[in-house]
Amino acid sequence: MSRIILVHGAWHGAWCWQPLIPLLEAAGHRVQAQDLPGLGSDTTPVNRVSLARYVQSVADLLTATDEPAIIIGHSMGGMVISQLAEEFPERIQQLIYLCAFLPQNGEALIDKNGADDSLLNENKVVDQETLTISINPEQVRALFYHDCDEQLAEHAQVKLVDQALAPLGTAVKLSAERFGSVAKTGIVCLQDQAITPALQREMYAAGQCEAVYELDSSHSPFFSMPDQLAALITELAKG
């Protein structure tokens, strides 16, 4: 089966993939996931966190062996895997965008997210002193986990950390020759309150995804429907 690298989104860590990983491994895949700098349990100081460091951390996994990988990015992770594909297109079998940002050349995450009519934009709390952004704690479940088991949602909320602003304002540099040569698939989450399904579809169309699939899920299908997500990824891995 396939080698799969999972890239989490803002505020989260590799812990968010825990329900999904054993299901993918049971299907025969080799799965890797790690915390991006400054997120999860990683202690990189905020002033050293950047989009480039995010990309390098995933590149270190990708290039540890010569085996090509399927790279799955969730939410902000879509920015990371896009820049990664520009730098290592020959090592990537496929990019899968899971309710994720898929930028055009020269775009930053804030360019895509700023005009989105989502619940997330109503509940972001920016701290200019620490250069981080957090979420109104009263709205976290509605934003990310509204269709998830209550105990699991509470456990996840406790593990969220502040997100560094710098990577969100950094534009990607993508080319048709490199990034454009990598196969891409989009997964729209129909109940998503963090990135609207309309924006997801718009980005996947503009990003020339070869196929777009739907899950009737919140922004966190790895919690709410891990079996269905694992089955879809396994089907996509067949090429």
pLDDT of residue 114: 79
Cα dihedral 70, 7, 177, 92 in deg (nearest 10) = -20
Mean pLDDT of each 10-residue bin along the chain, 239 residues long: 97 98 98 98 97 98 97 98 98 98 97 87 94 96 96 96 98 98 98 97 97 98 98 94
pLDDT of residue 231: 98
pLDDT of residue 162: 98
pLDDT of residue 113: 86
pLDDT of residue 200: 97
pLDDT of residue 1: 86
Which distant-in-sequence residues (6+ apart) come within 8 Å of 156 by Cβ?
15, 16, 144, 145, 148, 220, 223
- Each domain of the chain, given as residue ranges in start order, spans 3-237
Q: What is the edge-to-edge ordering of all strands in the sheet holding 92-98?
A: 30-33, 3-7, 69-74, 92-98, 184-189, 211-215
CATH 3.40.50.1820 fits 3-237, yes or no: yes
pLDDT of residue 99: 98
Which distant-in-sequence residues (6+ apart) come within 8 Å of 84 by Cβ?
55, 58, 59, 62, 71, 92
